[in-house]
Structure 1
Amino acid sequence: MPRAAGTQQQSSPVRDRILAAADEYFYAEGIRAVSADKLIAAAGVSKVTFYRHFPSKDDLVVAYLEGRAAVERQAIEHFHEQAGDACGTLLAIAQGIGDISCSPGFRGCPFINAAAEFADPGHPARRTIAAHRAWFTSFLTGLLGEMGIRDRATVADQLMILRDGAMVGGYLEPDSTTRTEALVRAGRAVIEAAE
C-alpha cells in the first residue's frame, strides 16, 4: 500500500539517486512509459535495493510528486520573501511561470501531466496532486486577502486556471515571447474585476 500523500520517508543517498532518476525520466517520458527496470539501471541499484526504498511504483510516483511539490512551494515562498507584499508576490509568481514555461526541456506542468495519466481521483498520485493544488490555492487566497479582495476563493480559482493555461501553452508553444506579459495582464484583469 502506498504511503499517504504528505508523508515523507527518511532520505538516503540511494533513495535520492532513485528519486533523481524518477524525476528525470517521469518528467521527460511520462510516468507510465518508464519501467522500474529503466529506473533501476539509471540509479545504478539492484532490484532488491530499489524495492526496499519503494515497494510499489505508486510509492515512487507519490515521492516524485511530493518532491516536485516541495520545489514549487520553496520557489513560491522565496518569491514571497523577496517581494515583501502580496501584489509583488503574485507578479513574481506570474513571471516565474512565464519563464519556466519558455525554458528548454519544459514538458508542461508535472502535476497536470501526472493527473492525465491517472484517471482515478482516489489514486495516491491524484491525492498528492490535489494536496499540492489545495496548498497553492490556499496560498493565493491568503495573498488576495492581504490585498483586500472580497471573493478570494473565486479569484484564486481564476488565477489557478490562468496558471494551468500558461503551463499547457508553454508546452504546446515553447517559443512564445509574450506568455509572461499575457499572464500578468490576465491576472491583473481578474484581480481588478474583483476589487
Structure 2
Amino acid sequence: MATSRDAGANHQRLIDAASTLFFRDGINATGIAAVAEAAGMSKMTLYAHFASKDELIVAFLDKRNERWEAAVQQTLTASESPAQKLLGLFDLHRQWLREGGLRGCPYVNSAAEFPDRNHPVRLAVERHKTGVKQHLLDLAVMAGLKRPDVLVRRLFLLLEGAFLTGALENDDSVFLLAKDLAAELIEAAQPTA
C-alpha cells in the first residue's frame, strides 16, 4: 500500500518529468505517455495524480513559481537597498535563463501554446507575471521612487525583453545591458532633493 510520502514523491517525479519534457520539446508536442514514461510510471498512475494534461501543466507552472518565489526572497535578502534589490532581480532572471539552457521563459512559452486568455494554463502564467510585477512595484515604492507604476512597466519590459532576446540569440549577456538600462531608469526615478 502506497504511503502519502510515496504519493508525494510520485507527484513530484511526474512534475519533474513534465518540466524537463515541456521545456525541451514544448507542451503540445509532449504527450502524457511520454511524461509517464520519463517518470517511470504508467499513464494510469499519472491520471491518479492529475485529472488532465492541463492540470499537469498548471502544476508544473505553479511548482516552478514556488521555486521562483523562494529564489526571489533569497535575492532580496542578499541586497541592502530597495534599488539594489530591483537590480538583483535582473541578475536572478539571468541566472534562471542560464539554468534553463537559454530555452526562454516557460511562462511565455506556455502562453504561446495556449492563446485563450481564460485557459487555466494562461491563468497560471498570469499569476506568475503578476507576481513579478508586484515584487518590482513593492521595491519601487519602498525606495520612494517617482511614478513607481510607470517605472515598473518599464523594468518589466526590460526583464521580459532580455529574457526573450537572450533565448533567441543564445546569449544571456543581454541582461547586463538590461541591468544598465534599469539602473538608469531607477536613478532617473529618484526623488528630487
Does the TM-score normalized on the shorter chain lie above 0.5? yes
Cα shift at 1:103: 5.2
Judge which range, 57-66 or 144-153, deviates more.
144-153
Relative to total residues, which structure has the larger helix share, 1 or 2?
A: 2
Q: Deviations over 1:65-84 (max 9, x none)?
A: 00111111111111011113
Identity of aligned residues (%): 31
Instruction: Note if contact 1:106-1:170 (Cα within 8 Å) is conserved in structure 2.
Output: yes
Structure-1 separation of matches of 2:24 and 2:37: 16
Choose from 175, 187, 193 the match for 1:192: 187
Structure-1 separation of matches of 2:150 and 2:130: 14
Note closer, same or farther for the CA distance 1:103–1:13 as it changes in structure 2 (3 Å cut).
closer
Alignment of 1:130 onto 2:126: yes
Q: Deviations over 1:29-53 (max 9, x none)?
A: 1111100010111111122211010
Alignment of 1:161 onto 2:134: no
Structure-2 separation of matches of 1:143 and 1:63: 28
Report the equivalent of 1:77: 73
Cα shift at 1:187: 0.5
Structure 1 segments of 4 or more deviating over 6 A?
none
Q: Which has the higher contact order (CA 8 A, sep 6+)?
A: 1
3-state DSSP of counterpart to 2:156: helix
Instruction: Note if contact 1:86-1:146 (Cα within 8 Å) is conserved in structure 2.
Output: yes
Choose from 21, 28, 33 the match for 2:24: 28
The alignment yields a C-alpha RMSD, in angstroms, of 1.6
Alignment of 1:90 onto 2:86: yes
Q: Deviations over 1:152-194 (max 9, x none)?
A: 11111111111110111111112354x2320111111222333
Judge which range, 41-50 or 88-97, deviates more.
88-97
Structure-1 separation of matches of 2:69 and 2:51: 27
Note closer, same or farther for the CA distance 1:176–1:94 as it changes in structure 2 (3 Å cut).
closer
Instruction: Note if contact 1:155-1:194 (Cα within 8 Å) is conserved in structure 2.
Output: yes
Q: Gaps spanning 5+ residues in structure 1: where?
A: 1-10
Query: Size of the alignment, in residue pairs?
Result: 184
Instruction: Note if contact 2:87-2:183 (Cα within 8 Å) is conserved in structure 1.
Output: no
Report the equivalent of 1:142: 138
Relative to the length of structure 1, the TM-score reads 0.88
Report the equivalent of 1:58: 54
Relative to the length of structure 2, the TM-score reads 0.89
Structure-1 separation of matches of 2:184 and 2:142: 18
Instruction: Note if contact 1:87-1:147 (Cα within 8 Å) is conserved in structure 2.
Output: yes
Code of the aligned partner of 1:105: G
Structure-2 separation of matches of 1:161 and 1:23: 25
